[in-house]
């Protein structure tokens, strides 16, 4: 396995916050500017401390039960904050705490029940989360150790614990951190983001017992405030259609390599170009039908955890490994053909 290199991963991309930061309305631009400044500081801090981060000690005898602890930052930026909820506690009077607890559990359950993975590190890692972080903080993030949720500004974003797929997305950055450790830049960074979107969506589908045809394939549905013209942050089904708003602008995600965005921003456009592998997974899952976490999800999980995915892999590298994984697990049948068709459908050449 690659040496672990945890990165600071947020659910709301910088390009979207940049739009808000240029608004004439202080209720919009002040929270966005604070969020951007905060996130820039955190990214620098993660780069400086990454070299000192060690892989987890194996805990072969770890119980296969979640160990969730929720903290309350009380609108400060001090982590972890005050402990307010342990694994064995009953429901809190704070709905945000309850949603965080449930989202951590939903993520733990998918990985354990479907892929036999005990927590995000595979060895029973306790799951910690901090809620009510910052003042009007418009983001949620995985910092290599814990989940952190802002409450949103109420104008553009609501409470970041509302969509379970946001929680699943961020915790999956932890799974990637402990497995393929995809570098957070360019196509490998877009794959890092896409894997989190894919499993975030699968966690929601699993918790709702939805088939691929029933799922909405949205990331962050319910997160945008009522006055925003949009339905979510991203769409795996139709990248580029999640929002089209006077303030936020239009969703810039491409669905095909013909529209790949070359950018020096957002670590080489990791939140934008992730739309391409996202759409490939959607095409695969809907072609296979049934419950997407089964065959389609299994193929993606096999590649993420199989040890052959290089940390600097590009889309074509990942695509070829999914083709090999499909053949290894299912033979030369419908799954392999569907994988090839899905990548061809988004313009990725498998050779």
Q: Residue 46: what pLDDT?
A: 40
Question: Is a pLDDT exceeding 80 seen at residue 39?
Answer: no
Question: Is a pLDDT exceeding 90 seen at residue 276?
Answer: yes
Q: What is the pLDDT of residues 83-130, one digit of tens each?
A: 999 999 999 999 999 999 999 999 999 999 999 999 999 999 999 999
Report the distance separating Cα 244 and Cα 68, nearest Å. 37
**Residue that the structure tokens 């899952």 belong to:** 285
| In the chain, beta strands by DSSP E | 9-10, 68-72, 82-85, 127-131, 140-142, 147-149, 218-219, 234-235, 244-245, 249-250
Q: Which residue of the set 38, 101, 173, 271 is catalytic?
A: 271
Q: Residue 147: what pLDDT?
A: 94
Q: Of the candidates 132, 152, 178, which is a domain's last residue?
A: 178
Q: Beta-carbon neighbour count of residue 256 at 10 Å?
A: 15
One domain, residues 31 and 151: yes
Q: Beta-carbon neighbour count of residue 228 at 10 Å?
A: 17
Residue 311 maps to a domain: yes
Q: Verify whether residue 75 is a known catalytic residue.
A: no
One domain, residues 214 and 134: no
Q: What is the pLDDT of residues 277-314, one digit of tens each?
A: 999 999 999 999 999 999 999 999 999 999 999 999 99
Report the distance separating Cα 59 and Cα 47, nearest Å. 27
Q: Residue 1: what pLDDT?
A: 39
One domain, residues 138 and 165: yes
One domain, residues 170 and 242: no
Sign of the Cα pseudo-torsion (319, 322, 327, 330, in order): negative
Q: Residue 144: what pLDDT?
A: 85
3-state secondary structure at position 52? coil
The answer to whether 82 touches 174, Cβ cutoff 8 Å, is no
Report the distance separating Cα 289 and Cα 276, nearest Å. 20
Using only C-alpha atoms, the chain has a radius of gyration, in whole angstroms, of 19
CATH classification of the domain holding 23: 3.10.170.10
One domain, residues 119 and 223: no
Q: Of the candidates 178, 201, 217, which is a domain's last residue?
A: 178
One domain, residues 151 and 283: no
Q: Of the candidates 154, 178, 202, which is a domain's last residue?
A: 178
Task: Give the pLDDT band (50/70/90) at residue 50.
Answer: very low
Residue 122 maps to a domain: yes
Question: Is a pLDDT exceeding 60 seen at residue 60?
Answer: no
Task: Give the pLDDT band (50/70/90) at residue 57.
Answer: very low
Question: Is a pLDDT exceeding 80 seen at residue 7?
Answer: no
Tokens (6 digits) for 264: 């020096």
Residue 148 maps to a domain: yes
Residue 287 maps to a domain: yes
CA dist 276 to 41, 53, 239, 344, Å? 29, 31, 8, 11
CATH classification of the domain holding 200: 1.10.390.10
3-state secondary structure at position 56? coil
One domain, residues 202 and 235: yes
Residue 201 maps to a domain: yes
Residue 62 maps to a domain: no
Chain centroid to CA 172: how far? 6
pTM over 0.85: yes
The answer to whether 253 touches 272, Cβ cutoff 8 Å, is yes
Report the distance separating Cα 55 and Cα 61, nearest Å. 17
Task: Give the pLDDT band (50/70/90) at residue 10.
Answer: confident
Q: Which domain holds residue 275?
A: 186-345
Q: Residue 61: what pLDDT?
A: 53
One domain, residues 242 and 328: yes
Q: Residue 49: what pLDDT?
A: 34
Q: Which residue of the set 170, 183, 193, 335 is catalytic?
A: 170
Mean pLDDT of the chain: 90
Range scoring the smallest mean pLDDT among 22-31, 160-169, 182-191, 209-218: 22-31
Mean pLDDT of 221-240: 97
One domain, residues 137 and 20: yes
One domain, residues 157 and 45: yes
Residue 288 maps to a domain: yes
Residue 56 maps to a domain: no
One domain, residues 207 and 223: yes
Cβ-proximal residues to 149 (8 Å cutoff; 6+ apart), any chain? 96, 100, 129, 130, 131, 132, 133, 140, 159, 160, 161
Report the distance separating Cα 89 and Cα 124, nearest Å. 19
Q: What is the pLDDT of residues 232-256, one digit of tens each?
A: 999 999 999 999 999 999 999 999 9
One domain, residues 166 and 260: no
Q: Residue 20: what pLDDT?
A: 83
Q: Verify whether residue 170 is a known catalytic residue.
A: yes
Domain total of the chain: 2
């Amino acid at each position: 396995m690659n040496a672990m290199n945890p990165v600071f991963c947020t659910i709301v991309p910088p390009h979207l916050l940049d739009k808000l930061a240029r608004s004439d309305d202080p209720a919009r631009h002040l929270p966005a500017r604070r969020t951007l400044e905060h996130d820039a500081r955190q990214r620098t801090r993660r780069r400086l401390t990454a070299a000192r981060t060690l892989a987890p000690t194996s805990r072969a005898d770890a119980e296969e039960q979640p160990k969730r602890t929720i903290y309350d930052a009380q609108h400060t930026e001090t982590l972890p904050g005050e402990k307010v909820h342990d694994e064995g506690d009953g429901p809190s009077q704070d709905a945000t705490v309850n949603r965080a607890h449930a989202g951590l559990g939903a993520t733990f359950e998918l990985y354990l029940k479907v892929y036999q993975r005990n927590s995000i590190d595979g060895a029973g890692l306790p799951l910690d989360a901090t809620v009510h972080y910052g003042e009007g903080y418009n983001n949620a993030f995985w910092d290599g150790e814990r989940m952190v949720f802002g409450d949103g500004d109420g104008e553009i974003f609501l409470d970041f614990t509302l969509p379970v797929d946001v929680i699943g997305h961020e915790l999956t950055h932890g799974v990637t951190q402990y497995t393929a450790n995809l570098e957070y830049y360019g196509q490998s960074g877009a794959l890092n983001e896409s894997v989190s979107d894919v499993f975030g969506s699968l966690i929601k589908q699993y918790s709702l017992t939805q088939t691929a045809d029933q799922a909405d394939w949205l990331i962050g549905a319910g997160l945008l405030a009522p006055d925003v013209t949009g339905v979510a942050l991203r769409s795996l089904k139709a990248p580029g259609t999640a929002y089209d708003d006077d303030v936020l602008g239009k969703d810039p995600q491409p669905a095909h390599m013909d529209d790949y965005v070359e950018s020096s921003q957002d670590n080489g456009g990791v939140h934008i170009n992730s739309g391409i592998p996202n759409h490939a997974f959607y095409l695969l899952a809907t072609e296979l039908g049934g419950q997407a976490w089964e065959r389609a999800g299994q193929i993606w999980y096999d590649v993420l955890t199989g040890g052959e995915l290089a940390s600097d892999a590009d889309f074509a590298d990942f695509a070829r490994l999914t083709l090999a994984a499909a053949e290894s697990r299912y033979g030369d049948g419908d799954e392999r053909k569907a994988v090839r068709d899905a990548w061809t459908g988004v313009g990725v050449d498998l050779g």
